[in-house]
Amino acid sequence: MRLLELKDNGKFSLTSNIVIDIPPYAILSHTWGCDNDEVSFKNLIEGSGNTKAGYKKLQFCGEQAARDGLQHFWIDTCCVDKSDNTELSEAINSMFCWYHNAAKCYVYLSDVSGPMSNQDGKHGQLHWEPAFRESRWFTRGWTLQELVAPTSVEFFSTEGEQLGNKTSLERYIHEITGIPIKVLRGGALSNFGITERLSWAEKRETTRKEDTAYSLLGIFDVHMPLIYGEGRDSAFRRLREEIDKASKGIQYEDFSVPFGLSDASDIYHFVAREKELEEMHKELHGDGSRRTVVLHGLGGIGKTQLAIAYMKRYKNSYSAIFWLNIKDEDSLKQSFAKSAKQILQEHPLASRLSSVDVNGLNEVTDAVKAWLSLPNNIRWLMIYDNYDNPKFPGSTDSTAVNIRDFLPESYQGSVIITTRSSQVQIDRLIPVRKLENINDSIEILLHISRREGLRDNPDAIRLAEELDGLPLALATAGAYLYQVAISLPDYLRLYKVSWAELQKSSPRLTSYEDRTLYSTWQLSFDNVRQQNSLSAKLLRLWAYFDNQDLWFELLRHRSFKQPKWIRQLVKNELSFHSVMRVLCDHGLVEADISSQELIESRGYSIHGCVHSWTIHILNQEWNFEFAKVAVKLVGAHVPEQEAVRPWLTQRRLLQHAARCSYIVFNDLVTDDDMDWAYHNLGLLYRDQGKLAEAEEMYKRALQGREKAFGPEHILTLDTVNCLGILYLDQDKLADAEEMLLRALEGNEKTLGTEHWSTLITVHCFGRLYNDQGKLTKAEEMYQRALQGREKVLGPKNISTLTTVNNLGTLYAHQGKLAKAEEMYQRALQGFETALGPEHKWTLTAVDCLGSLYIDQGKLTEAEEILQRALQGNEKTLGPEHTSTLNTVHNLGNLFVDQGKLTKAEEMLQRALQEREKTLGSERKSTLDTVNSLGFLYKDQGKLAKAEEMYRRVLQGREKALGPEHISTLNAVSNLGVFYRHQGKLAKAEEMYQQVLQGREKTLGSEHTSTLNTVHNLGTLYVEQGKLTKAEGMLQQALQGREKNLGSEHISTLNTVNSLGFLYKHQGKPTEAKEMYKRALQGYEKALGLEHRLTINTVNNLGFL
C-alpha cells in the first residue's frame, strides 16, 4: 500500500508501494463528491489538485494524524492508481484489512456541523445530533467496512471538530445502522449469520452497481477478482459462491448434505439463550479440528432446544449436520442408519457407505464414522441428544452408553452433546440454567398459549415467577392454557394444590420428545437411586424443606434422635458433599457458588418445579416422620442472639421456616415433642418481624409445654414471657400485661425475684408501662431490672445493656435528654464491644441515639448516625426488616426537620409501603408513619392530604385501641394542631379539650402528656385573645413541668418562652423580658447557640 506524508512545507508526498514493515498510519473514511472534486493519484504525482474541494480532506487528515503522533496516513481517493486494474483489484480485496490495521480511522462528515459542546435543551440532545443521524455517510456501501473494521474510529464535523468516537456514539450508530453493539465493540463478524451481515448493507448504495457486492468482501472475509460491467446480480452470485465455499470448507471434495430437522423436536419460536449461543459458536468455530461442546443441565431446562437453535442459526457454517438420539445404544445406532441414508442420497458412491447393508446397524455405524473421518471432511456437525445415561469406568449398568465408542476416529469436525450429567467431561462444558429474565418466560407463555396481552399481565408475571424460568414447565403451562378455557390465576391455583393431576392432564409437547413434568425427572431419579441410596432419600426429604439452600450444618444436629440414614448422611462434611454431588451430577441439584457472606458451609438448591415434583410424586403419601424431622432440624438451628453474626443464619433459615409453617399450620405434623421447635421458630419469626407467624408458633409451643410440663414450669413460663413480648410488638397491651403478669408471678414463685428469667419479665414490664404512658412505673421496673442484671449478670452483659438502652428511651420520653444520651452511649459502647458494630442490637442503639439527636436539635449528627444505622440494618437484616424500616421512618422525620421535604417524602413513603406490606395498614408503627406524612404534607402546604393522613391515624387508633387510649388521644392532639395551623381555632380547641379530658382520666393531671395538652391550650388561648385563660393554662403547665421534668427541661423552657409571649401581649414587658431571658439561658445550655429555639428566643427579645 502507498501512504501519504505531510511535509513541513504543508505539501503532501506519496511513499513507494510498501509491502512489509508498514509504519503506523491513520486512515480516512468519507463520502465522495463528484470525481472532479476529489484529489486523485494523478493529481498528487503531478503536484496539482490543491484547488479542488477535496483537498480540504487531505489537509484535515494530515493535520489530525500529526496531532495524534502519526507521520503517515491513507486516503482512498489518491493513494490508489485506479487506472491500473490490477492495483485497483488488489486494493479493493485488501481494503478491509487496511482499515482494520490502521492506528486511527477518521470519519469526516461533510454534512454535519459542530460544535459538540452545544445542546439544544431537549433531553440533553446534542446540537448536531439530527444532522449526524441523517448523514449521507451512513447510506454508502463502502463505509460499512470502514465503520466495523478499525479498532479506533473517531467522528469529525465539517469544521474538523471531534464529535465523538465509535464507543461514545455507539448508541446512536446502532440506532441509525441496526448493526449490533457487539460488532461495534469489535466482536468477531463470524459470530453473525450470513443473512444478518447482508442485512447491514441492505439500504446502502454505491456509485457503481458491482460495488454493492465488492464492498462486502471484507465483511465475509472472502476474495474474488473484480469484473466491472458484470452487473449487480452477477457480482452478488459470485460473492455468494465464495461465501458458501468459505463457510462449508470445500477444498478437494464436496461433502455437503442438505440441512433438515426431521429427527429433532423443533420449536418455531426460540427464546433467549443468546449468551449460550455465542459461547457455543466461539467454542465450535475453528480450523476444522475436533471441537466439542457439552450442554448439561436439568431435564426440561432446554438443552435440546438450545442445540436446535444453534443448528438453525449456524447451518451455513457446516457442510453437513446430523442429529443423533443417544438415550440408549439401539436408538443411537438407528440414528446412524438415518444419517447414512442422508449421506447416500447426496453421495451415492460415498466411500464404504455405498457397499454396506443399511440394515446392519453396527456396519452402518462404522461406515458413517469412517465417512466423517475422511480427509477434508472437516466441516460437519454431530449432535448427540439425550446422553442421560453415560457409561463411566466401573459402571455395571448394561444399558449405559459410552459415547466415545460412537465418535468418529479422526480428530476433526464439531460435536454437541446434550446431557443431564455434569460428569460428561469432553472438551467444553456449558451449563444450561433457568431463564433469568422474566420477560423471556412470559414470551414462551405468550407464544404457546396464543393469548394476547400477557407481557404486562400481573397474573402472567406471577405464573412465570412460580415456574421460575424452566422452559418445559412454561411450555406445558402454555399448551394447557391454549387448549383449556381457564384463567391464569386458576391455573396457578391448580398448579399449587393439584400439581400431579394437573400435569397428568396437560398435553404432551411435540417440541419435547417424550417429556412431561410428571415423568421427565424419573429417569434421573432412577439413576440416582441405583448409584447412591442416601442421595435418593435426601431428595425425598427435601420436599419438607424449602427448595433453596440446604446445607450441611442445618441437617447435623445431635439435640434429638434422628433416623440412622440422616446420621450417616451428615457424619462428616465429605459424606454430605458426596451425597449431594450425585444429585448435582444428574442435574437435579445446583451448588451455591455465589460470593454471599456466610458463617457456615455453602448450600445446595433445586429448581422450584423439581421441588414440586419431589412433593407430589416422590412423596405421594405424606411422610409424617420426614415432616417432623424437617421442622425439628430448622427449629434446632435457630441461633442465639449472642451468636456470631446471627442474622446470616436467620436469613438462611427463614425460607425453610416458611415451609415448616405450612406443614405445622396445616396439621401435617404430629405435635408430640415439638414444643421446643415451635418455640424456637417463634423466636426466629419475631426477630425477623413476622409477628403473625411468631404468635401462631408461640401459641402451639405454649399448648405443648402446658400439656407436657404444667402451667408453672420454667419452660412454659419462658414461652408465656415471649408471648407477652410479642403482644407488646403487636400493640396488644392488655394481652401483653396478662402474659407478663403470669410470667412474673410464676418466675418469682419458682425461681425467686433475682433470677435472670424473672428479670427478663421485669424488664418487659418496664417496656409495657412505657408504652402505656406510665413513665414513673416504667422507670421503677427498668431500675429494678438494671440493678438485678448488674448484680447477677454483670454491667457488660447483653441483657444488662438492653435494659440500659431501654432506660435511655424512657428518659427521652420524659424529656431527660442528657440522661437519655448517657444511657444510649453506654449501651452502644457495650454492644459494640460485645457483639461488634453490625449486630442488630448495636444498630438499635445507634438508631435510638440518632432519634435522640433529632430531639436535641443536633440534626447533622442525627443524619450521620441514622445513615450508619440504615446501612447496617439493610446489610444485616435486609431492606424490609422492621428494624430497617424504623430507621427509614426516623430518617424521614429528620429530613422534615431539616427542610429536605422531597427526601423526607421518599423515606416516609418507603417506610409506609413496606410497613403496610409487612405489618398491615392498622399497626401502630404503620400509623406512626402515616402521622409523620401528615406533618410533612402540612409543611408542604398539601393541607387536604395532611388532614387525610391525620384522620386515617385517628380512625385506625380508635378502631384498634379505643377512644381513650393514649395513642388515640395523641392522634386527636395532632389533628388539633393541624386545625390550629389552618386557623380553625374553634375546632382546634375542641380537639385539645377532648385530649385534655382523656389524658387527665387515663394518665392523671400531672402526666407529661397531660401537661403538653395544657401547654397547647394555653398557647391557643393566646391566639384567640383569651389572655386570662391562657395565663392560667400556661402557669399550670409550667408548675407541672417544673415538678415532673425540672426547670431546665426543654418542655419547661417552651412554656417559659410562651409565657414571655403572653406577657408581651398583655403589655407586661418586664415580665416578658424575664421569661425570654430565662428561656434563652436554658436553650443555650441545653441546645447550643445555633439551635432554632435559641435563635427564635433571641429574636423575641430583640422585638421586645
Q: Which amino acid is at 654?
A: L
Residue 889 DSSP SS3? helix
User: At the topology level of CATH, where does 1034-1104 sit?
Assistant: 1.25.40
What pLDDT is stored for residue 641 in this prediction? Answer: 75
Q: CA 1086, CA 1033: separation in Å to the nearest integer?
A: 25
Say how many C-beta atoms besides its own lie within 10 A of residue 482's C-beta: 14
What pLDDT is stored for residue 250 in this prediction? Answer: 43
The answer to whether 980 touches 1015, Cβ cutoff 8 Å, is: no
Q: CA 819, CA 807: separation in Å to the nearest integer?
A: 9
* Residue 749, C-alpha cell as written in the block: 414463685
The model's pTM is 0.66
* Residue 51, C-alpha cell as written in the block: 484547488
The sign of the CA dihedral 757, 762, 765, 770 is negative
Residue 414 DSSP SS3? strand
> What separation, in Å, do the N-terminal and C-terminal C-alpha atoms of the chain show?
93
Residue bearing cell 424488664: 763
Instruction: Look at residues 855, 852, 863 and name the one whose alpha carbon lies nearest to residue 900.
Output: 863
- HSE (side-chain half, CA atoms, 13 Å) at 709: 18
CA triple 549-550-555, angle to 5 deg: 150
Tens of pLDDT, residue by residue over 931-973, are 999 989 988 989 999 999 999 999 998 887 788 877 889 899 9
Instruction: Look at residues 555, 938, 533, 960 and name the one whose alpha carbon lies nearest to residue 732.
Output: 960
CA triple 302-303-305, angle to 5 deg: 65
The answer to whether 319 touches 372, Cβ cutoff 8 Å, is: no
Query: What residues contact residue 99 under an 8 Å CB cut-off, 6+ apart?
Result: 27, 29, 105, 145, 146, 149, 150, 218
Task: Parse the chain into domains and list their residue ranges.
Answer: 4-220, 274-431, 438-505, 521-621, 1034-1104
Strand order, beta sheet including 428-431: 320-325, 380-385, 414-419, 291-296, 428-431
What pLDDT is stored for residue 117 in this prediction? Answer: 54
Q: Which amino acid is at 627?
A: A
SS (H, E, C) 700-740: HHHHHHHHHHCCCCHHHHHHHHHHHHHHHHCCCHHHHHHHH
Residue bearing cell 423515606: 907
Q: Which amino acid is at 583?
A: L
Say how many C-beta atoms besides its own lie within 10 A of residue 337's C-beta: 17
Task: Round the CA-based radius of gyration of the chain to a whole number and report it.
Answer: 40
Cis peptide before 375 (omega within 30 of 0): no
Residue bearing cell 441514622: 866
Instruction: Look at residues 517, 431, 437 and name the one whose alpha carbon lies nearest to residue 475.
Output: 517
CATH number of 521-621: 1.10.10
CATH number of 274-431: 3.40.50.300
| Helix%, strand%, coil% for the chain, nearest 5 | 60, 5, 35
Residue bearing cell 404468635: 695
CA distances from 1064 to 217, 1015, 1078 (A): 95, 17, 15
Report which secondary-structure segment, H or E, holds 385: strand 380-385
What pLDDT is stored for residue 515 in this prediction? Answer: 58
What pLDDT is stored for residue 960 in this prediction? Answer: 78
What pLDDT is stored for residue 595 in this prediction? Answer: 65
| Residue spans of the chain under pLDDT 70 | 115-125, 247-253, 263-269, 287, 351, 358, 507-515, 518, 595
What pLDDT is stored for residue 115 in this prediction? Answer: 65
Mean pLDDT of the chain: 89
What pLDDT is stored for residue 17 in this prediction? Answer: 85
What pLDDT is stored for residue 350 in this prediction? Answer: 78
* Residue 926, C-alpha cell as written in the block: 404503620
CA triple 973-976-978, angle to 5 deg: 115
What pLDDT is stored for residue 1016 in this prediction? Answer: 94
Q: CA 1029, CA 48: separation in Å to the nearest integer?
A: 106
Instruction: Look at residues 189, 321, 209, 220 and name the one whose alpha carbon lies nearest to residue 263.
Output: 321
What pLDDT is stored for residue 382 in this prediction? Answer: 96
Q: CA 41, CA 47: separation in Å to the nearest integer?
A: 10
Domains 521-621 and 1034-1104 share a fold: no
Residue bearing cell 428511651: 809
Residue bearing cell 392522634: 971
What pLDDT is stored for residue 268 in this prediction? Answer: 55
Tens of pLDDT, residue by residue over 314-372, are 888 888 999 999 989 999 999 999 999 999 888 887 767 877 776 789 999 999 999 99
* Residue 1070, C-alpha cell as written in the block: 418586664
Q: CA 471, CA 370: separation in Å to the nearest integer?
A: 37
CA triple 998-1002-1007, angle to 5 deg: 95
What pLDDT is stored for residue 251 in this prediction? Answer: 44
